[in-house]
Amino acid sequence: MTQRKVVDLTGKQQLCQDFLSFFPIFKLFDIISHMILDIRIHPDPVLRQLCEPVTEFGSALSQTLDDMFDTMKASRGIGLAAPQVGLLQQILVVCYKDRKFALINPKIVSKKGKLISEEGCLSLPAIHLNVMRADKIEVHAQNKQGKPVVLKERGMVSRIIQHELDHLNGVLIIDHQPEVEQLIPNLKK
């Protein structure tokens, strides 16, 4: 092992990285602390169940949110709801362009306008459907500390929130298109 002389903060950062490289167990802890969760695929019954409100705000919730963000990123998604990873809790995460946030116990309190646009879903791979959604919404929710959050969104972020909130109520994009059942047999179980 060679000794390094630390002269500034960047040197300290390098020394820390060198230290971690000699003790791979620390890298293992970093890997363990962030997990990629399995995405539930239709017709998994958990996708049709109603989610329960979150009542405990703490380290377990923070870990769940980290895992959901990591899973969404690894799956190349822009939104993810808890039932899509097998959790029946009112949690959704969004990462679109420069926006990244989580909503706990979200409720849409107002909607304005209507737009039809194509949507896909991580739980329905290879299916893309035109879905009508409100253009503007106001959402009341909580953050990961349990503090109240009010969002006023429009356009794509509004669409993502509505899509993910549908999941919390057991609703999928195929439920917005009644004719899909006739086109793809056994899809709407």
C-alpha angle with apex 66: 65 to 68, nearest 5 degrees?
Answer: 60
Strand-pair partners of 100: 95
Catalytic residues: 164
Which residues, 6 or more positions from 63, have their beta carbon under 8 angstroms from its beta carbon? Answer: 33
CB-based burial label for 149 (10 Å; 0-12, 13-18, 19+): middle
Q: What is the DSSP string of 7-34?
A: -SHHHHHHHHHHHHHH-HHHHHHHHHHS
CA distance 6 to 14: 9
